[in-house]
Amino acid sequence: MGGNDPGNPGRSEEDAEDVRLMRLVGRGDTSAFENLVERHQSLVTGTVARMLGSNSDVEDIAQQVFIRVWKSARRYVPRAKFTTWLLKITRNLVFNEMRRSKRRGHVPLQSEPGGEDHPPLKDETNPARDASLLEAELQQTIEEAIMQLPESQRMALVLRRYEQLSYEQIAEVLDLSVPAVKSVLFRARTELRSRLSKYLA
């Protein structure tokens, strides 16, 4: 019991706690389940939102992820890190939703035309405001560019860029080899760079 993960010493205690909670959840312990949800809600909702766009059913899909966790708890075997297993469930639900949206012809991330107050001209009197506007526009362009990527590239990039996962963890979540993950990330970054070229000039 309690063998430390030599590759990731800082995480082993956290993971051991997740596994302990999952065992309790497997016995129907609802407060252990609430504790697990609290610990990992931001990881799940953040990943879902970045994959599907913030105006999609993020809460609904995150909820479905945790319902799966509850239903699988009795059969849960801690082979990988708990968060890796959790992100695999998230990946499956997100990919299903992306395929459904594609069939419906739904565009996930769109800004409302005229919904936001975008001044048409540069504000010459306030360069700081102008810079922050450009920053916000760049941020939105990055998000939109990420939304255009194929699902595996998008997921790999989100897990690497926002969740700081290792190549090994991303490989487990996506059922790929580590070299395949590196290649997927390389393609994703190349694609992003070409979409963002006007900002990088």
What does the alpha-carbon distance between residue 143 and residue 149 come to, in Å, rounded to a whole number? 10
| Model pLDDT, residue 126 | 59
Under 8 Å between Cβ of 52 and 108: yes
pLDDT in tens, the chain (201 residues): 444 444 444 458 999 999 999 999 999 999 999 999 999 999 999 999 999 886 678 999 999 999 999 999 999 998 889 999 999 999 999 999 988 877 776 544 444 333 343 334 444 455 566 777 777 887 888 888 888 899 999 999 999 999 999 999 999 999 999 999 999 999 999 999 888 887 776
| Model pLDDT, residue 89 | 97
**Domains in the chain, start-ordered, CATH in brackets?**
9-106 (1.10.1740.10), 127-201 (1.10.10.10)
- What ranges in the chain are assigned the alpha helix state H? 9-26, 30-52, 58-72, 82-104, 127-148, 151-161, 167-174, 178-195, 197-200
| Model pLDDT, residue 138 | 79
| Model pLDDT, residue 121 | 41
Under 8 Å between Cβ of 155 and 173: yes
